[in-house]
Amino acid sequence: MSTEVKIPALGESISSGVLSSWKVAEGTYVEIDQPIYELETDKITQEGLAEVAGVISFLAKEGDEVEIGATIANIDESAAQPTSSNPEQKEDAETEVEQEAPEPGPEVITTPTEETKAVVKEEKGEIVDSPKDDIPLSPAVRKILAESKLDPASISGTGKDGRITKADVLNAQKASPEAPQQVQSEPKPIPSSVSSDPDSRSTRRPLSPIRRKIASRLVEAQQTAAILSTFNEVDLTEIMALRKRHQDSFVKQNGVKLGFMSFFVKGVVHALRAVPQINSRMEGNELVENHYFDIGVAVGTEKGLVVPVLRDCDQLGFAEIEQSIVDYAKKARSGGITLQDMQGGCFTITNGGIYGSLLSTPIINPPQSGILGMHSIQERPVAINGEVVIRPMMYTALSYDHRVVDGKQAVTFLVKLKEAMEDPARLALGI
């Protein structure tokens, strides 16, 4: 009996994705709930689990774009489970020449009985005396030699007793223009617009689904909203002193550090209460004002920027906010973020300061009407009560949809945020 592996529905707006990788080899035995593939969509990266146990056969290749509901593999449930899956036994078995799968290309090394024994002993770390005319090679080296069609006699070995190592073969492969490069899968045909010259000064590759979505959303925001930015600066002396006084107790009690982000999340809620117009969005000819405070926090990953949402931040404590941010960051960078984690949200915070940004104009996250940009903290001279003092200062930027928010309201928002950050007691007193 064979069971089909189908791409499940991941959300109403997701119709397809790219099969970014198989997590198992074709023809292997998979267990129930074992991760077998990774699908990258324009919003999330999702792992697929085996629903049944059996031997898997692929119907799609890595890099293929597949539709929701498409069958990408079959699992043969009638196949018997291997009697031994011990990695050490498997590794030992692979060192035997008789059990190796035939490699494409011409035969490079002869394998008489004595040489086979020598190779196996070499893999086990034993010192052997090989025949004078033969070169003892490990299975990995033989595989690369067969693929690259290099003559082992032309390679100088740097290993023990002059043995040829994998690095020796790779170096010889680079030095030989005639030798084909080692590949992991069938080469894809090169479009006519892409140069096949190995010394080309540029490369061309398709955008990933998430990068395509990011690009589309940013262009949409620029084309559909009247985006304007306004700036202010915040003196973080009080917050830094507060963190220093209570950090050890906070960590001991909550198991997470007290960072700056929880203060800014609370500060944003404080400012949104004062300027509710920013906590709203346009829907056609109607203005929808939110009476809740779900704040998105931008997280950078290797595949792009994602914005998980902290729900009901007005009801969360500092420790809950910090722990939620840590958990979301781990999920985002491991590819475990879900669509539900990023849906909704009435305002977004992005912190370019962690990358060294001094000032920026962030783009709003539609259909929201505002986004706060945090930046690097720098010690700068400032005038306070007629005296010049050195203080840890941060520039803040509010980008907003001018169709919804007036300039006065945007400036008031940043002033309220500045007051709360410079006097954190306001957050507790609600003033």
CATH number of domain containing 296: 3.30.559.10
- pLDDT at position 149 is 73
Q: What is the identity of the amino acid at 209?
A: P
Q: Which of 42-46, 407-411, 420-424 has the lowest mean pLDDT?
A: 42-46
- Answer yes or no: do 33 and 140 share one domain: no
Domain end among 76, 111, 142: 76
- Do 255 and 132 lie in one domain? The reply is no
pLDDT of residue 337: 80
* pLDDT number for residue 239: 96
3-state helix, strand, coil in the chain (%, to 5): 35, 25, 40
Q: Which residue has the higher pLDDT, 33 or 408?
A: 408
pLDDT value for 131: 40
pLDDT band of 69, cuts 50, 70, 90: confident
How much of the chain exceeds pLDDT 70, in percent?
79
Out of 29, 56, 76, pick the residue that ends a domain.
76
- Is residue 198, in this structure, part of any structural domain at all? no
In a domain, 185, yes or no: no
Q: What is the pLDDT of residue 11?
A: 64
pLDDT at residue number 346: 95
Catalytic site residue from 134, 314, 402, 423: 402
Residue 314 or 160, more confident: 314
What is the pLDDT, as a whole number, of residue 18?
81
Instruction: Say yes or no: 361 and 395 in one domain.
Output: yes
Whether the pLDDT of residue 211 is over 80: the answer is no
The verdict on whether 401 is a catalytic residue reads no
pLDDT tens sequence across 94-145:
444 344 444 444 444 444 444 444 444 444 444 344 443 455 677 677 777 7
Residue 406: active-site member:
yes
**Looking at per-residue confidence, does 267 or 39 come out higher?**
267
Amino acid at 215: A
- Categorize the per-residue pLDDT at 348 as very low, low, confident or very high, splitting at 50, 70 and 90: very high
- pLDDT for residue 188 is more than 50: no
| pLDDT at residue 198, as a whole number | 58
267 pLDDT more than 60: yes
Are residue 28 and residue 139 in the same domain, yes or no? no
Predicted confidence at residue 135, as pLDDT, reads 55
User: Is the Cβ–Cβ distance between 92 and 39 less than 8 Å?
Assistant: no
> Which of 21-25, 304-308, 319-323 is the least confident region?
304-308
Considering the chain, what is the average pLDDT of its residues? 80
Domain range spanning residue 120?
A: 87-175
- The answer to whether residue 214 sits within a structural domain is yes
Distance of CA 393 to the CA centre of its chain: 31
pLDDT band of 205, cuts 50, 70, 90: confident
- pTM given for the model: 0.59
- pLDDT over 80 (residue 251): yes
Within 10 Å of residue 129's Cβ, how many Cβ atoms?
8
Mean pLDDT over 214-240 rounds to: 89
Tell me the backbone φ, ψ of residue 62, rounded to 5 degrees.
-60, 135
Structural domain contains residue 183: no
Pairing of the two strands 227-235 and 65-67 = unpaired
Q: What integer is the mean pLDDT of 367-373?
A: 95
202 within domain boundaries:
no
The stretch 53-59 carries a mean pLDDT of 89
* DSSP of 224-287: HS-EEEEEEEEE-HHHHHHHHHHHHHHHHHHSS---HHHHHHHHHHHHHHH-GGGSEEEETTEE
286, 361: one domain: yes
pLDDT of 257 reads 95
Share of the chain above pLDDT 90, in %: 38
- Which pLDDT score, from 0 to 100, does residue 38 have? 81
**Residues in contact with 39: Cβ distance below 8 Å, sequence separation at least 6, in sequence order:** 7, 17, 18, 19, 20, 45, 46, 47, 48, 66
- Asked whether residue 190 carries a pLDDT value surpassing 70, the answer given is no
pLDDT at position 81: 76
Let me know if residue 193 belongs to a domain: no
